[in-house]
Amino acid sequence: MIDQAKELLRKAQLKARHDLSPKQRVIASERVCNRLVELVKTKKPKAAHCFIPMGNEIDTKPFIEYCLFKSITVVSPKTLKNKRLKHLVLSDLNSIESGVFGTVYPSGNIEFSGELDLIIVPGLAFDNDGGRLGYGGGYYDTFLSDYSNALKVGVGFNKQLVDKVPLEEHDVRLDSVFLG
């Protein structure tokens, strides 16, 4: 029953995100990135994990550029088989490669092995209790469960806020959600 509810919500959220105008996407992305920059100024992380946006996701590139400029180690995921992510150090947004499912990841093969202070998480839907609905592969839930001490922040568009995300036992709640 939860799987069916999740799939219906996924379809609705993909459509809602698709229906946003380019101007709405730019404005929302700026708002979210500004909040993330303020968070970094306050929390002063040494290492931040952030996805490189694909398709019509929130554009996190200005936030990534800010972190690189401030000499914060930026780590981005490469999607692998078996619901796993490989965490690669990103040194430049011009040095990226295309991966599976339309993803992009850092070129080279410098794998990050330290502690992450901050993890920026994409999603299709979020609720005010830190619930998150992803794309259905379970990649982030597996990853987030290994980093319980890191601050986990979901990012998206205002339209992605729902009353309640249907969660299962393995789903990891986020500490905060920044929507624009």
* DSSP-derived pairing of the beta strands 132-133 and 96-98: unpaired
For residue 1, the model assigns a pLDDT of 63
Give the containing element (helix H, strand E) for 48. strand 47-50
Residue found by looking up tokens 């929390």 in the block: 43
Global pTM reads 0.94
Q: Which two tokens stand for residue 66?
A: 């800010």
How many Cβ atoms sit within 10 Å of the Cβ of residue 135?
13
pLDDT digits (tens, 9 = 90+) for 120-141: 999 999 999 999 999 887 888 8
Q: Which two tokens stand for residue 26?
A: 């730019």
Mapped onto helix, strand or coil, the DSSP state of residue 152 is strand
- How far is it, in rounded angstroms, from Cα 178 to Cα 123? 11
**Comparing C-alpha atoms, which of 116, 92, 126, 113 is closest to residue 43?**
116
Domains for the chain: give ranges and CATH numbers.
Answer: 2-179 (3.40.50.10420)
Instruction: Kindly list the averaged pLDDT for each block of 10 residues, start to end, along the chain of length 180.
Output: 82 90 96 98 97 94 98 95 88 91 89 96 95 87 89 97 90 95
pLDDT digits (tens, 9 = 90+) for 71-91: 999 999 998 877 788 999 999
Greatest alpha-carbon span in the chain:
46
Whole-Å CA distances, 45 to 25, 68, 157: 27, 12, 24
How many Cβ atoms sit within 10 Å of the Cβ of residue 71?
8
Q: Which two tokens stand for residue 93?
A: 């947004």
